[in-house]
Amino acid sequence: MLSNPPGIEDIYPDRVVAWNRVTGAAREVFRLGNYKEIIIPVMEYTEVFARGLGDETDIVSKEMFTFEDRGGRSLTLRPEGTASVVRAYVANGEYNRLSSAKFFYCGPMFRAERPQKGRLRQFNQFGAEFFGSSDPYYDYEVIAMMHAISHRVGIGDFALLVNSIGCPAADCRGGYIERLRSYFIDHRDALCEDCKRRLDRNPLRILDCKQEGCSALKKGSPSIADHLCRACRDHHTRVKEHLDAASIAYTEDPFLVRGLDYYTRTTFEFVTGRLGGQNAFAAGGRYDSLVETFGGKPTPAVGFAAGIERMLLLAGETTDSNSALDVYLVHAGGESLGQALALARALRGAGISADLDPQGKSFKSQFKKADRESARFTVIIGDDEAAERSCTIKNMATGTQEKLSAGECPVRIRESLAGTEGRNGSD
């Protein structure tokens, strides 16, 4: 038997029901916020991520699935969506000439991480990206969308962590990074090998290191909150005021730097204690310089992405009565099979889901299949029915049966289904 590579899963139909509920909620919230879907490629030139996410990030330095195409160009399976959306935005004059643009996306991402609960090598995200304004309202808007999606799918037990990592100016993050560097230089021996290297090139990344020694040092390190410039502090205050006005609870976490280099000012994560080591199920922030990094004109931007598999773990399973089969056709072979096939065509043509087994076997085994498919009705065409071009409809919930002409069957089933839906709706 062939198996999947580690951390790469099949999503069987029973999980797809819950999956569609999560992505359906996201799509609806994006529609309400006027975000439009963009479909971005699954692979890009490696440069897109190396330049976009930062060479020193774990994702770029250790976790990308990178290979050479036949022409010797380096390609990478996308580890996230933001860099691709920015590249696509910069490439498309129609969109980047607009004063603002709102996109959302949904699809698989790839990271060569060590697989465990909630941490996969192929996982799926939905996300939203806003381009064109540095107004703190938009930081709030993307956070509020993720907040609404969580509640719509029944995830209520989470914390929203927010922070500002300021701007590169010397009187803001620039100066803070120097303070941070001298702090960690004083504790150099306790740092892991990766972080010793990060000391020179990107000390902020040390705050994102999960190694025990480095995490412990983080607690005593200088806080960005004490080093924000006036404009970044005001921006952060305005974001929090919007959250307060919408009664969205949050916790400030001055060490929330996130594992990607593109962030400026706002960073945030939706976290829960129910995912073991992987506590974030959605995250994002502002990235005001990324469009320029990709060769576009200066365009402030902000966005987020959520992990669908992690949300499924939190939202739990759901059953969807709409996915149950409407009709299972039971026949006696020969002439009655011919009629059953014709009736299946007529039912499907009338928008009624129908299934049957052409091999037929016994009535008993066909009824068993109808049960397994949770069919709402079985339509029986035995030898008698075949001779008189009729059929017997059995309501599987009530057990009641009715014989009528085959031609009348689709209409009668449609009426009965409408009656069932009406009853369910008024329950």
Position 375 contacts ligand HAM (CB under 6 A): no
Among 44, 58, 80, 141, binds ligand HAM (CB under 6 A): 80
| Sole binder of ligand HAM in the list 57, 84, 125, 339 (CB under 6 A) | 125
Number of residues that bind ligand HAM (CB under 6 A): 26
Specify the residue, 125 or 390, whose C-beta has the smaller distance to ligand HAM.
Answer: 125
With contacts defined by CB under 6 A, name the span among 151-159, 283-291, 313-321, 324-332 that binds ligand HAM: 283-291
Return d(Cα 184, Cα 4) in angstroms, integer: 42
- Residue 143 makes contact with ligand HAM by CB under 6 A: no
Please identify, using beta-carbon distances, which residue of 19 and 184 lies nearer to ligand HAM: 19
Tell me if 285 contacts ligand HAM by CB under 6 A.
Answer: yes
* Angle 255-265-188 from CA coordinates, rounded to 5°: 35
Residue number, 166 or 285, with CB nearest to ligand HAM: 285
Write b or e for each residue in 107-144: b if 16 or more Cβ atoms lie within 10 A of its Cβ, otherwise e.
eebbbebebeebbbbbbbbbbbbbbbebbbebbbbbbb
Nearer to ligand HAM, 58 or 326 (CB): 58
Helix axes 13-32, 136-152, angle to 10 degrees: 150
Which tokens in the block code for residue 220? 């005593």
Smallest separation (angstroms) from ligand HAM to the CB of 356: 40
Binding mask 242-281 for ligand HAM (x = CB under 6 A): -----------------x--------------------xx
Of the pair 80, 326, the CB lying nearest ligand HAM is at: 80
- Contact segment (CB under 6 A) with ligand HAM among 115-123, 144-152, 171-179, 219-227 equals 115-123
Spatial CB neighbours of 333, under 8 Å, sequence gap ≥ 6: 360
Residue 111 binds ligand HAM (CB under 6 A):
yes
Number of H helices, E strands in the chain: 16, 16
Give 82 or 390: the residue with its C-beta nearer to ligand HAM. Answer: 82
Per DSSP, the three-state class of 74 is strand
Interaction of residue 304 with ligand HAM, rule CB under 6 A: yes
Angle at 125 between CA 123 and CA 126, to 5 degrees: 160
Residue written as tokens 């010793």?
196
**153 within 8 A of 317, measured Cβ to Cβ:** no
Q: Which residue carries 């976790």 as its tokens? A: 63
> Which residue of 284, 300, 360, 410 would you call a contact of ligand HAM, by CB under 6 A?
284
Beta carbon of residue 107, minimum distance to ligand HAM (angstroms, whole number) = 12
How far is the C-alpha of 188 from the C-alpha of 181, rounded, in Å?
A: 10
Kindly state whether residue 307 participates in binding ligand HAM, applying the rule CB under 6 A.
Answer: yes
Name the token pair of 46.
């490696």
Euclidean distance between CA atoms 351 and 365, whole angstroms: 26
Pick the piece of the chain touching ligand HAM (CB under 6 A) from 80-88, 208-216, 224-232, 417-425: 80-88
* 52 belongs to the binding site for ligand HAM (CB under 6 A): no
Residue given tokens 């009641």 in the structure block = 400
Q: How far, in Å, are 84, 98, 133, 357, 425 from residue 88 at the CA level?
A: 6, 14, 18, 48, 44
Tell me the two tokens of residue 390. Answer: 């009729």
Could you say which of 18, 29, 54, 129 contacts ligand HAM (CB under 6 A)? 129
Longest dimension (CA), the chain: 93
Binding of ligand HAM by 105 (CB under 6 A): no
Segment interacting with ligand HAM, rule: CB under 6 A, options 123-131, 153-161, 227-235, 238-246: 123-131
Q: Is 119 in the site for ligand HAM (CB under 6 A)?
A: yes
Contact segment (CB under 6 A) with ligand HAM among 8-16, 75-83, 217-225, 392-400 equals 75-83
Report residue 83 as tokens. 């860099």
Name the DSSP letter for residue 246.
Answer: T
* Residues making contact with ligand HAM (CB under 6 A): 80-82, 111, 113, 118-120, 123, 125, 127, 129, 259, 280-285, 303-307, 309-310
